[in-house]
Amino acid sequence: MATFKLKINKKTYSLEADPSMPLLWALRDLLGLTGTKYGCGIAQCGACTVHLNGEAVRSCSLPLSAVGDGEVVTIEGLSKNGDHPVQKAWEEVDVMQCGYCQAGQIMSAAALLSKNPNPGDEDIYNAMNGNICRCGTYLRIREAIKKAAAMK
Amino acid sequence: MEIIKTHYNRRSFLKVSAAAGGGIMIGFNWLMSCAPSQEKAGLAMPDEWFDINAFLKIGNNGVVTIYSPNPEIGQNVKTSMPMIVAEELDVDWANVLVEQAPLNTVKYTRQLAGGSQSLRQGWKSLRIAGASARRMLMEAAAKQWQVSVAELTTDKGIIKHTSGKSVGYGEVASQAVSVAVPEEIPLKDPKDFKIIGKATKNVDGKKVIKGEPLFGLDVQREGMLIAMIVHAPAFGMRPKSVDDSAARSMPGIKDVFIITTLPDGIEAQWSDVNAFKELVVIVGDNTWNVMQAKKALNIEWETVSAPMSTGSYNKALSELLEKKADTPARKDGNPDEAFKKAAKVIERTYSAPFLSHNTMEPMNFFAHVTADGAELIGPIQTPEFLRKTVSSVIGLPEDKVTINMTRQGGGFGRRLYGHFGLEAAVISKKINAPVKVVYTREDDMTQGTYRPAYKVKYQAAIDKNNNLVGIKIRGAGIHESPVFANRFPAGAVDNYLVENHALESNISTGAWRAPRSNFMAIAEQCFLDEVAEALGKDPIDFRLELLERAATNPVGQNNDYDPARYAGVLKLVKEKSGWGEKKNGVHRGVSAYFCHNSYVAQVLDIVMKNSKPVIQKVWCAVDCGIVVNPEGAKNQLEGGIVDGLGHTLYSEMTFTDGKPDQTNFHNYKLIRNSEAPLEIECFFVENGVDPTGLGEPGLPPAGAALANALYAATGKRLTTQPFYKEEMTISPM
Ligand code: FES
Ligand code: FES
């Protein structure tokens, strides 16, 4: 067990946990931030995507010991009222079906747009191919990313 | 306008209005401390709610809450079902809040998500719920004004009198609760619909994009423990003993034990399908600690039935395809004679592997069982069945078992089989604490309840005049044959034979999005393509000819499709896709299928790039009757197409000595963003027929349209799914 001071969504959380515990489970089980989802636990599905210092990372495969004093942003902290351009575009395009994968999709998309405000199709594929949607909402995801890019 | 007797639903209304007495406040104690927000942005909450009937309550300020009775698994019923209530109630959708109703068999019928039936079966009762509430509000207003109801009209939640005075629903709601439920009720003429037929956004959309706790896995409770199960590593095995000494000493671990979830003497229901009724259970304080300790368990397993491998059941299925069935499932004319006399016979065998459901949210459930009752919360497609099983296993009467349904991270049939809910209840009872059972992806993918492996052999007899005179279909599959005896092209061919075989197995199977159709559409529609080619006919014209025959002079009995509606979607897709135009380097395929009461036809274009197909566009024509929510409907169809293409191309479960070879997404491939079609366009037949569902029907035809397009590109007929294995060996002509 070790003590961690994590910077999440501009707040500092202090917690006791096993250093090998992935950030995902600390968020979900210890901090009550359940917006970040579990899908595979092995960095294959993207459901658990959060931002670490602005980069999209798979929190299921990121041990607490590797988070350090990095700035973590989760879906709950992406915007105050769900009004980040990506969130707005997601709502406008009505992307979701079951909705379970969408927090991860939104976080991957937001990281993409912060680096590349006008992504082309290949850029979108590269950024989004790590996020599975079993419901098959991929076309709407692409459309929403383009819409969000146009909003900025 | 249609006058309808409310009788068949009367019992529930009477129950409710009696219980509601004189406008008592009600409200479900929904979930827990971190419940998602209930408000809709900008909507003021009322001080008081009035319970009008099982489906809705009205606030004193006119805000309406509509309860969505059926489980929401991504098929969008939580938006579309309340839309139907709101339509007949005649309110402004902006003033409507939607809540998931808990399981309540007194108030609701068929609270089940399966077979794309929610809309079809809920259509009438939802309309009656809205229309009778509207009527009760009008009667309350009429009484207050001392006028006749006939002098009143409604619009967007306002009751108006011919004299010009008006009153809002919220102002008369307290009076309406004591109005008798009308015995007969007029329903709107569909041409007057204001909400139905309008693109309406998902009611949980805002909450999902903010990451609010909506799903089963998000449930948290004071004092709640986390439990994980360990099922046998192979089908046909069970735990013999467990050495938990290392695990028990690990951080946060509370308990380890073996359970039997369905003891002898308990009668299993269809929804209790489960290959692993004996489980090792490990309980601890958080998910990660339990996951870690789980790996430290030393479990001895024993074999109880012979393990199967992919090679062995595939061989057995192939052998069944060579065997005559004792009794045919359907026989028209004299198939043997027709084949004997045939100038030409075409034969093709198709096969498909086991598939895992892989809902993105793995199986999980919350349960708190005490001596007085059991409270269950989680994602389940069949809450009523789960309650029954939990009640008999736990030994509590059904009215002491409550089930609340969360939003569900995918269903696809997987959550019809509620063993995970039962496990949560059994574990909670044993440890005497609230508990959430969580499956890892590996637990989930290797648990079974798969889409069965199937094979089917098609034969066509063509006579010397180049006419199709006979078809023989012989199917075999694990636990069931995939073939539907009375579906198209039955009824369109004079000599027709269907034979079914099933192979028993200890690998468990269950309904998987469009059961059997998900395989049969591909086999049938690829085969018809091949027959059309052999006859020198255009594939769409050939299908239309067969449907014309089935409409004007059908062969045999019980043809379970409507040839006119079937032909309708083919004609629509033909027109919209500009069928017949040739584009350089673009190859097209067509397919059409009818299942779950809806008709779907698709045309799909590909271009080949490095020997791989890039799917340019899919045109999708649909007849599902009245389209309740066009946006939701399109989303379902797009998803079905992507899902269908992905599984046909890439996915499979295989087994070595009963042990699944695939365990997680590194070795089980699901379709990715860049592999989905570049464009999908949907078209709906407008015919005013009562609506049917779309959760499943978009999926089956997609794989066939792709295979037919690939044939056009390469000259090779793909028959063995997943196609990517065959596709590696094909190259463009
Ligand atoms: S849960 Fe982290 S990538 Fe799947
Ligand atoms: S919306 Fe269901 S998995 Fe993506």
pLDDT tens sequence across B506-535: 999 999 999 999 999 999 999 999 999 999
Instruction: Please list, residue by residue across B174-205, b when 16 or more beta carbons sit within 10 angstroms of its beta carbon and e when fewer do.
Output: ebbbebebbeebebbeeeebebbbeebbbbbb
Inter-residue contact B595 to B514 (CB < 8 Å): yes
Inspect the interface and report whether the beta carbons of B643 and A136 lie closer than 8 Å. Answer: yes
- Give the Cα separation of A75 and A51 in Å (integer): 9
Cβ-Cβ contacts under 8 Å, B212 against chain A: 35
Q: Looking at B33-37, B299-303, B430-434, B583-587, which range is the least confident one?
A: B33-37
Rounded to a whole number, what is the distance in Å from the CA of A137 to chain B's nearest CA? 6
- Give alpha helix (H) positions in B342-484: 383-394, 419-431, 441-445
Cβ of A40 below 6 Å from ligand 1: yes
CA angle A100, A102, A106 (to 5 degrees): 155
DSSP 8-state secondary structure symbol assigned to residue B407: B
> B254 CA distance to ligand 2 centroid (A)?
34
A58-102 per-position pLDDT tens digit: 999 999 999 999 999 999 999 999 999 999 999 999 999 999 999
Same domain, A98 and A32: no
> B86 CA distance to ligand 1 centroid (A)?
39
B309-322 per-position pLDDT tens digit: 999 999 999 999 99
Same domain, A6 and A67: yes
Same domain, B336 and B428: no
Q: Per-residue pLDDT averaged across B469-492, rounded?
A: 98
Is the pLDDT assigned to residue B728 strictly greater than 70?
no
Cβ of A149 below 6 Å from ligand 2: no
The pTM for the full model equals 0.94
Inspect the interface and report whether the beta carbons of A134 and B643 lie closer than 8 Å. Answer: yes
A8: β partners: A11, A72
- Give alpha helix (H) positions in B187-262: 205-209, 245-248
| A:15-34 residues touching chain B, CB 8 A cutoff | 17-18, 20-22, 25-26, 28-30, 32-34
Q: Which ligand is nearest to the CA of A39?
A: 1
What's the confidence (pLDDT) of residue A152? 66
Is the pLDDT assigned to residue B15 strictly greater than 60?
no
> B368 CA distance to ligand 1 centroid (A)?
29
Q: The tokens of B690 are what?
A: 């009562």
Same domain, A10 and A62: yes
Give me the sheet containing B587-595, strands edge to edge.
Answer: B587-595, B598-609, B612-623, B680-684
Cβ of A98 below 6 Å from ligand 2: yes
Report the mean per-residue pLDDT for chain A: 97
What's the confidence (pLDDT) of residue B3? 67
Q: Which ligand is nearest to the CA of A23?
A: 1
Inter-residue contact B710 to B723 (CB < 8 Å): yes
Cβ-Cβ contacts under 8 Å, B643 against chain A: 134-136
* B489 preceded by a cis bond (ω within 30 of 0): yes
Q: Which ligand is nearest to the CA of B215?
A: 2
* Minimum Cα–Cα distance from B207: chain A residue: A82
What's the confidence (pLDDT) of residue B40? 73
**Considering CB atoms only, which of A47, A98, A141 is closest to B673?**
A141
Inter-residue contact B235 to B655 (CB < 8 Å): yes
Inter-residue contact B489 to B528 (CB < 8 Å): yes
CATH number for position A141: 1.10.150.120
Cβ-Cβ contacts under 8 Å, A98 against chain B: 73-74, 359-361, 407-411
Inter-residue contact B363 to B412 (CB < 8 Å): no
Place of tokens 């909506």: B214
The answer to the question of residue B207 being in a domain is no
Q: Which ligand is nearest to the CA of B671?
A: 2
Per-residue pLDDT band at B725 (split at 50, 70, 90): confident
Instruction: Enumerate residue ranges in chain A where pLDDT < 70.
Output: 152
> B504 CA distance to ligand 2 centroid (A)?
33
Q: Quick check: helix, strand or coil at residue B346?
A: strand
Inter-residue contact B579 to B573 (CB < 8 Å): yes
> B676 CA distance to ligand 1 centroid (A)?
21
B474: β partners: B457, B499
Per-residue pLDDT band at B727 (split at 50, 70, 90): low
Is the pLDDT assigned to residue B10 strictly greater than 50?
no
Rounded to a whole number, what is the distance in Å from the CA of A57 to chain B's nearest CA? 17
Q: Name the domain boundary from A25, A49, A77.
A: A77
Q: Name the domain boundary from A40, A57, A77.
A: A77
> B470 CA distance to ligand 1 centroid (A)?
51
Q: Name the domain boundary from B384, B413, B438.
A: B438
In this structure, which amino acid lies at residue B142? A
Same domain, B454 and B432: no
B427-472 per-position pLDDT tens digit: 999 999 999 999 999 999 999 999 999 999 999 999 999 999 999 9
Same domain, A36 and A93: no
- Give the Cα separation of A59 and A72 in Å (integer): 10
The answer to the question of residue B489 being in a domain is yes
Q: Which ligand is nearest to the CA of B358?
A: 2
Inter-residue contact B98 to B82 (CB < 8 Å): yes
Same domain, A73 and A13: yes
Cβ of A15 below 6 Å from ligand 1: no
Rounded to a whole number, what is the distance in Å from the CA of B84 to chain A's nearest CA? 19
Per-residue pLDDT band at B25 (split at 50, 70, 90): very low
Torsion over CA: B168, B174, B175, B180 (sign): positive
Cβ of A48 below 6 Å from ligand 1: yes
Is the pLDDT assigned to residue B733 strictly greater than 60?
no
Q: Which ligand 2 atom lies nearest to the CA of residue A96? A: 1
Same domain, A15 and A69: yes
Domain holding A122, by residue range, is 85-151
DSSP 8-state secondary structure symbol assigned to residue B354: B
The answer to the question of residue B723 being in a domain is no
Inspect the interface and report whether the beta carbons of B677 and A25 lie closer than 8 Å. Answer: no
Cβ-Cβ contacts under 8 Å, A94 against chain B: 201-202, 205, 631-632, 635
Is the pLDDT assigned to residue B22 strictly greater than 50?
no
**Considering CB atoms only, which of B204, B360, B411 is closest to A39?**
B360
Report strand pairing: B587-595 vs B495-503.
unpaired
Among A95, A98, A106, the mutation site with the greatest number of ligand 2 atoms within 8 A of its Cβ is A98
Domain holding B573, by residue range, is 324-354+450-714
What's the confidence (pLDDT) of residue B30? 25
The answer to the question of residue B316 being in a domain is no
Report the mean per-residue pLDDT for chain B: 92
What's the confidence (pLDDT) of residue B109? 81
The answer to the question of residue B720 being in a domain is no
| A:108-137 residues touching chain B, CB 8 A cutoff | 124-125, 128-129, 131-137
Write the residue with the smallest CA distance to atom 3 of ligand 2.
Answer: A133
What's the confidence (pLDDT) of residue B28? 24
> A100 CA distance to ligand 2 centroid (A)?
5
**What's the CA dihedral at B335, B338, B340, B344 to 10 degrees?**
-120
- Give the Cα separation of A152 and B537 in Å (integer): 53
Is the pLDDT assigned to residue B687 strictly greater than 70?
yes
Same domain, A96 and A73: no
Q: What is the DSSP string of B25-36?
A: ------S-TTPP
Q: Name the domain boundary from A54, A77, A100.
A: A77
Inspect the interface and report whether the beta carbons of A36 and B211 lie closer than 8 Å. Answer: yes
B60-104 per-position pLDDT tens digit: 999 999 999 999 998 899 999 999 999 999 999 999 999 999 999
Q: Which ligand 1 atom lies nearest to the CA of residue A48? A: 2
* Nearest one of B332, B342, B328 to B490, comparing CA atoms: B332
HSE-CB of B402 using CA atoms within 13 angstroms: 13
The answer to the question of residue B607 being in a domain is yes
The answer to the question of residue B443 being in a domain is no
Share of chain B above pLDDT 90, in %: 88
Helix (H) or strand (E) holding B169: helix B169-176
B473: β partners: B458, B498
- Give alpha helix (H) positions in B63-168: 77-89, 118-145
Among B358, B360, B513, the mutation site with the greatest number of ligand 2 atoms within 8 A of its Cβ is B360
Same domain, A71 and A6: yes
- Give the Cα separation of B327 and B507 in Å (integer): 26
Per-residue pLDDT band at B121 (split at 50, 70, 90): confident
Inspect the interface and report whether the beta carbons of A137 and B202 lie closer than 8 Å. Answer: no
Same domain, B581 and B651: yes
Among A134, A140, A142, the mutation site with the greatest number of ligand 2 atoms within 8 A of its Cβ is A134
In this structure, which amino acid lies at residue B428? S
The answer for residues whose C-beta is within 8 angstroms of residue B562's C-beta and 6 or more apart is B599
What's the confidence (pLDDT) of residue B13? 37
- Give the Cα separation of A6 and A4 in Å (integer): 6
Inspect the interface and report whether the beta carbons of B205 and A94 lie closer than 8 Å. Answer: yes
What's the confidence (pLDDT) of residue B18? 29
Rounded to a whole number, what is the distance in Å from the CA of B460 to chain A's nearest CA? 35
Per-residue pLDDT band at B42 (split at 50, 70, 90): confident
Same domain, A7 and A73: yes
Among A49, A91, A97, A140, the mutation site with the greatest number of ligand 2 atoms within 8 A of its Cβ is A97
The answer to the question of residue B618 being in a domain is yes
Number of domains in chain B: 3
- Give the Cα separation of B24 and B10 in Å (integer): 21
Q: Name the domain boundary from B134, B163, B198.
A: B198
Same domain, B226 and B181: no
CATH number for position A39: 3.10.20.30
Q: What are phi and psi of B716, to 5 degrees?
A: -115, 130
> B352 CA distance to ligand 2 centroid (A)?
24
Place of tokens 């903010």: B210
- Comparing B553 with B28, the larger pLDDT belongs to B553
Strand ranges (E), B485-597: 495-503, 587-595
Same domain, A73 and A117: no
What's the confidence (pLDDT) of residue B34? 41
Please report the ipTM that was assigned to this predicted complex. Answer: 0.98
What's the confidence (pLDDT) of residue B732? 41
Same domain, A72 and A7: yes
Q: Name the domain boundary from B406, B438, B470.
A: B438
Inspect the interface and report whether the beta carbons of B201 and A91 lie closer than 8 Å. Answer: yes
Inspect the interface and report whether the beta carbons of A76 and B74 lie closer than 8 Å. Answer: no
* Nearest one of B424, B415, B365 to B394, comparing CA atoms: B424
Number of domains in chain A: 2
Same domain, A19 and A52: yes
> B445 CA distance to ligand 1 centroid (A)?
15
Cβ of A97 below 6 Å from ligand 2: yes
What's the confidence (pLDDT) of residue B32? 32
Q: Residue B618 to residues A138, B576, B633, B715: CA-CA distances in angstroms?
A: 14, 11, 16, 21
What's the confidence (pLDDT) of residue B106? 86
- Give the Cα separation of B219 and B203 in Å (integer): 20
- Give alpha helix (H) positions in B183-300: 205-209, 245-248, 287-295
Q: Which ligand 2 atom lies nearest to the CA of residue B410? A: 2
Q: The tokens of B586 are what?
A: 């673009």
Is the pLDDT assigned to residue B538 strictly greater than 80?
yes
Q: What are phi and psi of B492, to 5 degrees?
A: -115, 0
